Structure 1
Amino acid sequence: MTSALRPVTPGERIEELDVVRGFALLGVFLMNVEFFGRSVRGIGEGMPPGLTGIDWFASWFVAYFVQGKFWTMFAMLFGMGFAVMLMRAERAERPFLRPYLRRILALAVFGAAHFIFLWSGDILFSYAVAAGGLLVLLYGKWKPIVLALVALIAIAFVPGLGSSAAIAGSLAFISLMALYMRSEKKVFKRIPVFSFLFLLLGTLGALASIALWLVPDGPKDPRVPVTTISGLFLLIAFLSARFHNPVELRPLRLGVALYVLPTLMMIVMGTVQYVSPPDPKDAVATVEARKEKAEKAEQLAEHEQKKREEERVLSSGTYADAVGMRARDFPKRIAEQTGMAVIAIGMFLIGFWFVRSGIMQNVSAHLPLFRKLTMYGLPLGIGLGILGSAIATTHTPGSETDGFLLANALVMLGSLPASLGYMGLVVLALNSRSSLSSVRVLAPAGRMALTNYLLQSVVSTLMFYGYGAGYWGLARSWQVAFVIVVFGLQVAFSHWWLSRFRYGPLEGVWRAFTYRQLGTMRTSSSPSAAPPP
Structure 2
Amino acid sequence: MTPATGGPPPAHPAGTSAGIPAGSGPEAAPAAAPDRARIVRMDALRGFALLGILLVNITYLASAYHGTGLEDPGFDSALDTGVRYATAILFEAKFFLLFSFLFGYSFTLQLNSAERAAARFTPRFLRRLTALFVLGVCHAVLLFPGDILTTYAVLGLILLAVRRVQPRTAVRIAVALFVLTALGYALLALAQHLSGGGGLDPAATADRARAATEALRGDAGSVIGAHLRQLPDVVFLLVFFQAPAAFAAFLLGLAASRHGVMERLADHEQALRRIQWTGFPVGLAGGAVYAHASLEHPGSSYQLLALGVDVATAPLLAAAYAATVLRLVHPGRARRTAALLAPAGRMTLTNYLGQSLICALLFTGYGAALVGRVPPLPVVGIALALFLCQALASRRWLRRHPYGPVEWLLRAVTNATRPPWRKPDAP
Partner of 2:178 in structure 1? Answer: 259
Of 400, 405, 410, the residue aligned with 1:505 is 405
| Structure 2 counterpart of 1:132, one-letter code | L
Partner of 2:368 in structure 1? Answer: 469
2: distance between equivalents of 1:483 and 1:54?
A: 17
Of 19, 40, 43, the residue aligned with 1:18 is 43
| Structure 1 counterpart of 2:102, one-letter code | L
Structure 1: tracts of 5 or more residues without a match:
140-180, 182-246, 284-292, 527-533
The answer to whether the aligner puts 1:43 opposite 2:72 as a matched pair is no
1: distance between equivalents of 2:189 and 2:230?
A: 29
The verdict on how the C-alpha distance between 1:125 and 1:303 changes in structure 2, with shifts beyond 3 A counting, is farther
Partner of 1:375 in structure 2? Answer: 277
2: distance between equivalents of 1:362 and 1:271?
A: 45
| Structure 1 counterpart of 2:377, one-letter code | S
Partner of 1:128 in structure 2? Answer: 153
Pairwise mapping of residues 408-487 of structure 1 onto structure 2 (< 5 A)? 408-431=307-330, 433-435=332-334, 438-473=337-372, 474-487=374-387
**Offset of residue 511 of structure 1:** 0.2
2: distance between equivalents of 1:386 and 1:332?
A: 24
- What is the CA deviation profile of residues 500-533 of structure 1, one whole-angstrom value per residue up to 9, with x for unaligned ones? 100000000000000110111211269xxxxxxx
2: distance between equivalents of 1:465 and 1:389?
A: 27
The verdict on how the C-alpha distance between 1:436 and 1:54 changes in structure 2, with shifts beyond 3 A counting, is farther
Partner of 1:354 in structure 2? Answer: 256
2: distance between equivalents of 1:428 and 1:312?
A: 46
The verdict on how the C-alpha distance between 1:387 and 1:334 changes in structure 2, with shifts beyond 3 A counting, is closer
The verdict on how the C-alpha distance between 1:261 and 1:321 changes in structure 2, with shifts beyond 3 A counting, is same
The verdict on how the C-alpha distance between 1:456 and 1:117 changes in structure 2, with shifts beyond 3 A counting, is same
The verdict on how the C-alpha distance between 1:472 and 1:453 changes in structure 2, with shifts beyond 3 A counting, is same
The verdict on how the C-alpha distance between 1:18 and 1:477 changes in structure 2, with shifts beyond 3 A counting, is same
**Number of matched residues?**
394
Partner of 1:94 in structure 2? Answer: 119
Contact between 1:112 and 1:125, CA under 8 Å: does it hold in 2? yes
Partner of 1:278 in structure 2? Answer: 195
Structure 2: tracts of 5 or more residues without a match:
1-14, 23-31
2: distance between equivalents of 1:498 and 1:520?
A: 13
Contact between 1:86 and 1:96, CA under 8 Å: does it hold in 2? yes
| Structure 2 counterpart of 1:45, one-letter code | G
* Secondary structure of residue in 2 paired with 1:523: coil
2: distance between equivalents of 1:135 and 1:324?
A: 35
2: distance between equivalents of 1:483 and 1:386?
A: 22
**Offset of residue 373 of structure 1:** 1.5
1: distance between equivalents of 2:64 and 2:294?
A: 21
Contact between 1:29 and 1:483, CA under 8 Å: does it hold in 2? yes
Pairwise mapping of residues 387-426 of structure 1 onto structure 2 (< 5 A)? 387-389=289-291, 393-397=295-299, 399-400=300-301, 403-426=302-325
1: distance between equivalents of 2:220 and 2:315?
A: 37
* Secondary structure of residue in 1 paired with 2:315: helix
Partner of 2:222 in structure 1? Answer: 321
**Offset of residue 263 of structure 1:** 1.2
2: distance between equivalents of 1:60 and 1:265?
A: 25
| Structure 2 counterpart of 1:326, one-letter code | H
Contact between 1:119 and 1:457, CA under 8 Å: does it hold in 2? yes
Contact between 1:256 and 1:347, CA under 8 Å: does it hold in 2? no
Partner of 1:53 in structure 2? Answer: 78
The verdict on how the C-alpha distance between 1:389 and 1:103 changes in structure 2, with shifts beyond 3 A counting, is closer
The verdict on how the C-alpha distance between 1:47 and 1:130 changes in structure 2, with shifts beyond 3 A counting, is farther
Partner of 1:215 in structure 2? Answer: none
Partner of 1:519 in structure 2? Answer: 419
- What is the CA deviation profile of residues 292-323 of structure 1, one whole-angstrom value per residue up to 9, with x for unaligned ones? x9xx99x9998776544322210x21012212
TM-score normalised to structure 2 length:
0.83
C-alpha RMSD of the superposition: 3.0
1: distance between equivalents of 2:110 and 2:67?
A: 33
TM-score normalised to structure 1 length:
0.67
- What is the CA deviation profile of residues 232-274 of structure 1, one whole-angstrom value per residue up to 9, with x for unaligned ones? xxxxxxxxxxxxxxx431111211221232113323543675x
2: distance between equivalents of 1:52 and 1:496?
A: 40
* Secondary structure of residue in 2 paired with 1:466: coil
The answer to whether the aligner puts 1:494 opposite 2:388 as a matched pair is no
Partner of 1:384 in structure 2? Answer: 286
Contact between 2:97 and 2:245, CA under 8 Å: does it hold in 1? no
Contact between 1:27 and 1:70, CA under 8 Å: does it hold in 2? yes
